[in-house]
Homo-oligomer: A and B are copies of this chain.
């Protein structure tokens, strides 16, 4: 089987896990679940013995320090440093241009949690096998709730000789009623932003559907500067790239879209409540990171970077202490964290 090159995307600067996640050190670089950061866990689950090559990381200058500090094998890895964020189509295209055409790349967001590594690796092998046959493969994450924050994949015909399916349709974030319909109907999975394809296949599809974007990325690559394991695309050329997601630019347009089902305890850790649910909890549903004392509490998450947190007599509550900020939110309120003054004006 072909070796798989992980392409780890470290963009964005989510505010939904503020105040622990801040612009200068966002979510991927924090040890939110267990001892490893989400970025470290992403790289470590693409291990050599499971058939993965060393990763290509695409990031910005602001986070380069964290990437280099946290890469387990910096010497073997390659890092593409984007002058600015241009969304996923450009990031993936740049990575594709810097590897052999027939290499199979596995695109991985760096800020998700995957509880079952072996299930992930099995799905990756399946996706890579389909990618080697020219498919553009999305992981179809088993939908366990009517989430309105994710896009969905509608499963099409099975692809003979594989565990994969054609994608019948890409569905943008639905409202609650539609999402509940998807779950009731079956045959829908979450689009978790994990993709596999050959570099050459991806670039050909990008040329076909977004020729200007493809040309702009080629120019930024051609004028770029390599510096050891770092690569800096040409900034002026890069600035001209259209900002578009890989879903819009390629996946929704290609005739070769496939999906592999993935049941792997996945979470995008999209807010504090999602983090709480992704975490090991005690018999009362409580989880603690840092110093804390809990009395008569249930389903309480405490995250503190130093101060001791003492909690009495509450349930379904999240308490986060980070530097000069303290966040206290109900489980339901967790989705409003990004709208707090502190999260907006950091």
| Mask of A303-339 contacts with B, CB within 8 angstroms, 1/0 | 0101111111110010101011111111011101101
| Contact assessment for B306 and A340 in the assembled complex, using a CB-CB cutoff below 8 Å | no
* Cα distance, A325 to B317, chains bound together (Å): 18
Given contacts A310-B326, A310-B327, 20 further A-B contacts (CB under 8 A): A304-B326, A307-B321, A308-B325, A308-B342, A309-B328, A310-B337, A310-B342, A311-B327, A311-B329, A312-B329, A312-B330, A312-B337, A313-B329, A313-B330, A313-B336, A314-B333, A317-B317, A319-B328, A321-B326, A328-B328
Provided the pairs A314-B330, A333-B314 are in contact, do residues A325 and B307 lie with their beta carbons within 8 angstroms? yes
Instruction: State how many residues of chain A have any CB contact under 8 Å with chain B.
Output: 34
* Cα distance, A189 to B325, chains bound together (Å): 44
- Tell me whether A277 is interfacial, beta carbon within 8 Å: no
| Contact assessment for A313 and B332 in the assembled complex, using a CB-CB cutoff below 8 Å | yes
- Tell me whether A172 is interfacial, beta carbon within 8 Å: no
| Contact assessment for A342 and B293 in the assembled complex, using a CB-CB cutoff below 8 Å | yes
Of the A-B pairs whose beta carbons lie under 8 Å apart in the complex, a sample of 19, sorted by A's number, is: A19-B310, A295-B333, A295-B340, A308-B325, A308-B342, A310-B326, A310-B329, A310-B340, A310-B342, A311-B327, A311-B329, A312-B330, A312-B336, A312-B340, A313-B329, A313-B332, A314-B330, A317-B328, A326-B326
Residue ranges of A at the interface with B (Cβ–Cβ < 8 Å) = 19, 293, 295-296, 304, 306-314, 317, 319, 321, 323-330, 332-334, 336-337, 339-342
Chain B's nearest CB lies how many Å from the CB of A213?
A: 39
| Contact assessment for B312 and A319 in the assembled complex, using a CB-CB cutoff below 8 Å | no
| Contact assessment for A326 and B308 in the assembled complex, using a CB-CB cutoff below 8 Å | yes
| Contact assessment for A293 and B328 in the assembled complex, using a CB-CB cutoff below 8 Å | no
| Contact assessment for A296 and B333 in the assembled complex, using a CB-CB cutoff below 8 Å | yes
| Contact assessment for B340 and A328 in the assembled complex, using a CB-CB cutoff below 8 Å | no
User: For A339, what are the chain B residues with a Cβ–Cβ distance below 8 Å?
Assistant: 295
- Residue with the highest number of chain B CB atoms closer than 10 Å, among A306, A334, A342: A342
User: For A325, what are the chain B residues with a Cβ–Cβ distance below 8 Å?
Assistant: 307-308, 310
User: For A319, what are the chain B residues with a Cβ–Cβ distance below 8 Å?
Assistant: 326, 328
| Contact assessment for A328 and B310 in the assembled complex, using a CB-CB cutoff below 8 Å | yes
Chain B's nearest CB lies how many Å from the CB of A17?
A: 13
* Cα distance, A307 to B296, chains bound together (Å): 26
